[in-house]
Amino acid sequence: MAADAAPVTAQQAEPAAMRLRSSAPQPFADAPVRASASGLHEQAKSTVMAPTSIDEDARLPRRKWLERIRSRRDNGDLDSARASLERFVLAYPETRIPRDLQPLLAD
């Protein structure tokens, strides 16, 4: 019976080899990416509170602007909180700065 089988040419064998390669499992293609806890924390913060510019803060009513400054501070964005508070002081020099925000100006 082996004599009845036709010999396989290189051209016939090539597509079969390609099918085997393409169906072979890719070991790292779907592997989950591991991230550090701090990296995930930073990603979560940026997802929860989308970054806004200081210009956008300045368009808010005074109380909302102060809330935004607190939110920036509480989320660890001290540079933006300071910058926004400094702009607030320039816009409203007569307004008393709340005690909890005064340390931002002291630095």
User: CB-hemisphere CA count at 13 Å for 86?
Assistant: 11
pLDDT(49) > 60: no
pLDDT(87) > 70: yes
The model scores a pTM over 0.75? no
Mean pLDDT, the chain, integer = 75
User: What pLDDT, on a 0 to 100 scale, did the predictor assign at position 89?
Assistant: 97
**Distance between terminal CA atoms of the chain?**
91
Burial 57-72 (b: 16+ CB within 10 A, else e): beebeeeebbebbbbb
User: What pLDDT, on a 0 to 100 scale, did the predictor assign at position 46?
Assistant: 47
Cα 18 to Cα 15: distance, rounded to the nearest angstrom:
5
Cα 58 to Cα 53: distance, rounded to the nearest angstrom:
9
